[in-house]
Amino acid sequence: MTDTANKLIVVVLDGLRYDAARKYMGYMEHLVEQGHMSCCSVQSELPSLSRPLYEVLLTGTPVSKNGITANHIVRLSHEESVFHLAVAANLRTAAAAYHWVSELYSSAPFDPVADRHQHNVLKPIQHGSFYFEDHYPDSHVFADAEYLRTAYDPHFLYIHPMNIDDAGHRGGGESKEYELAVRRADGLLATLLPKWMEEGYTVIVTADHGMNANGCHGGVTPAERLVPLYMSGNNGLLPEAGAGTLPQLLLAPLMCHCLGLAPSKAMSTEGLPLFAGAKAP
């Protein structure tokens, strides 16, 4: 791998609660203990549903502006996402993700046959591997992502596994099945993160929303809204542990900062003093 300057990998572990991450992700917490990563809590936007929050994470805009108000809204995004901004700056992009991400930034509605693998340098997601079943193994998602990373050398790689969310819906956010899915995701990260970090990537690991004990999300409770934000080499960008919760609207401009891009005009700037004094990537 060459040219690792301003390269970013974002992992969105769908449905991962903040408290579950801090209790069960032993490898990620090891990196925090050793000072290789920082971790803070993030409060998701509302509604705490998947498709609306995919749009929040990648465009930095609230539902009231972007119009992706519920999971059943199937259309391309009308906003400038991090993918759009990266391609406009001649950076390479890739994603291994659930098909709803394709429907927001590549092709809608999703055709499982035609849209499973996508390669078009003119689209916001230039190289994509998209799955369409919630139980598609996380191990396969990470393998898809590694193929994209090594074959196409993207500056911005977005990885989005679904098994934690799937286990939560089936057994609840405090079930044995949910805990096991979190632990498995941690093991997968333990396999890949050392390589990514050695090759100079900035790595962000977060989630769209949490999961309550009844296997639901979409509401306002902490179990549904509080998610983790792990980040490598953050140069003081994140608040110190215990210093407060970051608004989810700041994640898109944070991604832009890591890629050396200016945020879009629509991206929220509230709270950006957190970045004051931080060194440019």
- Residue 87's domain is classified under what CATH number? 3.40.720.10
Residue 2 within a domain: no
Each residue's pLDDT tens digit, 113-160:
999 999 999 999 999 999 999 999 999 999 999 999 999 999 999 999
Phi, psi torsion values for 101, nearest 5 degrees: -65, -40
Domain of 137? 8-269
Residue 277 lies in a domain: no
In angstroms, the first-to-last Cα distance of the chain is: 18
CA contacts within 13 A on the Cβ side of 6 = 15
Distances (CA, A) of 241 to 31, 33, 75: 14, 12, 38
Contact assessment for residue 77 and residue 104, using Cβ atoms and an 8 Å cutoff: yes
What single string gives the DSSP state of each residue in 13-80? Answer: -TT--HHHHHHH-HHHHHHHHTTSEEEEEEEPPSS--HHHHHHHHHH---HHHH---STT--S--SS-
pLDDT band, very low/low/confident/very high, at 247 (cuts 50, 70, 90): very high
Q: Please tell me the distance from the alpha carbon of residue 44 to that of residue 244, in angstroms, as a whole number.
A: 14
Q: Is residue 101 part of a domain?
A: yes
Detail the DSSP E strand segments found in 58-155: 93-98, 117-119, 127-131
The two structure tokens encoding residue 98: 């659930």
Q: How far apart are CA 124 and CA 269, in angstroms?
A: 23
pLDDT over 70, % of the chain: 91
Structurally, how many domains does the chain consist of? 1
Rounded to 10 deg, the angle between the 138-152 and 176-198 helix axes is 20
Q: Is the pLDDT of residue 281 over 70?
A: no
- 77-86, 217-226, 264-273: range with lowest mean pLDDT: 264-273
Q: Side chain identity at 105, as an amino acid letter? A: Y
For residue 1, being part of any structural domain is answered with: no
Residue 280: inside a domain, yes or no?
A: no
For the segment 253-269, the average pLDDT, to the nearest whole number, is 91
> Would you say residue 93 lies in a domain?
yes
Q: For residues 28 and 21, is the Cβ–Cβ distance under 8 A?
A: yes
Q: Does residue 3 fall inside a structural domain?
A: no
Q: Is the pLDDT of residue 258 over 90?
A: yes
* Residue 274 is assigned to a structural domain of this protein: no
